[in-house]
Structure 1
Amino acid sequence: MDFFRYFYGESEEQAAAMLLNCSVADLEKLPARSPPNLPRTKQEEPKQLEIPPAHNNMRRVFAYLCQTRGIDPEVVSAFAHACLLYESADHHNAVFVGRDGQGKVRHLHAKGTLTGSSFRQTLPGSEKEYSFHWPGTSGKLYTFEAPIDLMSYISLHPEGWQDHTYVALCGVSAAPIQHLLGTQPQLQEVVLCLDNDEAGHKAARRIAAELLREWNVTVSAEFPSQKDWNDELLSFRPEESQGLTMSM
């Protein structure tokens, strides 16, 4: 349109009519131009946490955790009796439950139990600050990357374990630690028991810096000699017993 206005000296209306190959009068009949419809940013509603139904027994989970992973059966039983662990009815996953102070389920982490399965997932709708944990009464809080590492560590250090607080971050976020420090004022010492690899060491340094900056607590780190705490636990088992499956 600027071409017609510049080279032919036409008004804006006349230039528009020439561009559209119509008269100026016809322009008045055209509908008013609406502003472009910009795509609206759809606000995703927070997902509701759906709790997988429980199987009528825990044979496969017990076999997987105790035989394949080497975890002490008494430790598995303690978490099951506290309603913090169960076997799902659909896929027979081990489901690690995170509850709030009123006992409401707020976080679920599933781990496959089939031989060779690498499946693990924090279920949609989980609130990370309520991650799988054991609430104790002492001033010590032990933190781990995964639930199985948490239970493996307890199996390696069983004496008086129920007195302490343990949490699996299901990753390397400090949110579950922050939440426990805010809700359990007796906690004075945090022990970071993350994986013995570059990512675990880096996360431990980052989390320690966050905690020391925001809380009046003592922070230390304890790493396994193996890659993680389950590898550490299995390294103490006779090699011939590691492939056995429990029959229940």
Structure 2
Amino acid sequence: QIDFLRVFCGMSVKEAVFWLLDFAGYRRIENPVKQPLVHQVSQKQAEERKPFVLPEPAGDNSYLISYLNQERGISRAVIDLFLKDGLIYESRHYHNVVFKGNDKNGVTRFASMRGVFDKQGKPFKCDVTGNDKNYGFNVVNENSTELVVFEAAIDLMSYVDIFTDYESNKLALGMLADAPLETFLREHPQITSIRFCLDGDEPGRKAAAELMRKYYELGYEVEDCPPPAGYKDYNEWLVAAKLNLNRMNKRADEPVRA
């Protein structure tokens, strides 16, 4: 029916869907006041923002590599690539992993930190003081029209490891609001399609549905790509996959008993 209305009535996909819903008796409730999904950074907040200073780098990245590889299951090849591109580094104090969010000119506007020493199961996470939350951790390819969106930087890196996807643009929101997404799309107008790889929990599913609706109505091709059922996020999926692979390899190495 949608294709028929598009071909013979000249409707867009959106117009055709709404027409069919109206025809079937579903009444749309128009909201006269557009409620923004994103928590925009107000002018007052921008004025009150403290100076943005990146943490001093450590002499090497040994703690970072050990944590991301051993604890988070991310391969050395992926870790080395992000280090080489200057998107991550290890801070001198406390040896936190620093994730940098750059603008279209390569200037770092945002940075978040993740501790490598979890105390009593409690992870250390925080944003660097003075950062601009209209930006997020991202990977840019100006020749790609596709953008893949995540909640967390480690999920973004895990996705690269799982699918060996080095071609698409990628963005970690660092939250469930879409201010970084709006900024990225404005700075990279070649983007035509967005894949949302948000978490599989209730907040992630709700946010994915809202974001897909919003950006579909803005004219983007959208796709919901959560982690498989049973996994909270892409990193949990990666860690489980690596663990299962290690078990299989261990069994294969065991001698066959007569």
Normalised TM-score (structure 1): 0.75
Cα distance between partner residues in 1 of 2:68 and 2:246: 14
1:206 aligns with 2:210: yes
- Report if aligned partners of 2:160, 2:166 keep a CA contact under 8 Å in 1: no
Q: 1:138 aligns with which of 131, 139, 144?
A: 144
Root-mean-square deviation (Å):
2.1
Cα distance between partner residues in 1 of 2:61 and 2:88: 9
Cα distance between partner residues in 1 of 2:51 and 2:215: 30
1:156 alignment partner in structure 2: 162
The structure number with the bigger radius of gyration is: 1
Q: 2:90 aligns with which of 81, 87, 100?
A: 87
1:85 partner amino acid:
I
Normalised TM-score (structure 2): 0.72
Q: Helix, strand or coil: the match of 2:180?
A: helix
Q: Helix, strand or coil: the match of 2:48?
A: coil
1:185 partner amino acid:
P
- Report if aligned partners of 1:134, 1:165 keep a CA contact under 8 Å in 2: yes
- Report if aligned partners of 2:212, 2:222 keep a CA contact under 8 Å in 1: yes
Q: Helix, strand or coil: the match of 1:190?
A: strand
Q: 1:1-248 to 2 correspondence within 5 Å?
A: 45-115=48-118, 116-136=121-141, 137-158=143-164, 161-213=165-217, 215-225=218-228, 226-238=231-243
Could you tell me the percent identity over the aligned residues? 32
Cα distance between partner residues in 2 of 1:228 and 1:141: 18
- Report if aligned partners of 1:122, 1:170 keep a CA contact under 8 Å in 2: no
Structure 1 position 239, deviation (Å)? 6.2
Moved beyond 3 Å, runs of 4+: 239-242
Cα distance between partner residues in 1 of 2:197 and 2:60: 31
Structure 1 position 102, deviation (Å)? 2.0
* Aligned pairs, number: 198
Q: Helix, strand or coil: the match of 2:83?
A: helix
Deviations 1:78-120 (A, max 9, x none): 1111111000000100000011122211000100001445111
2:65 partner amino acid:
F
Structure 1 position 175, deviation (Å)? 1.3
Gaps of 5+ in 2: 1-45, 248-258
1:120 partner amino acid:
K
1:163 partner amino acid:
E
Cα distance between partner residues in 2 of 1:187 and 1:229: 23
Cα distance between partner residues in 2 of 1:240 and 1:155: 14
Q: Helix, strand or coil: the match of 1:238?
A: helix
Q: Helix, strand or coil: the match of 2:148?
A: strand
Deviations 1:38-74 (A, max 9, x none): xxxxx97221112110001000000100111001211
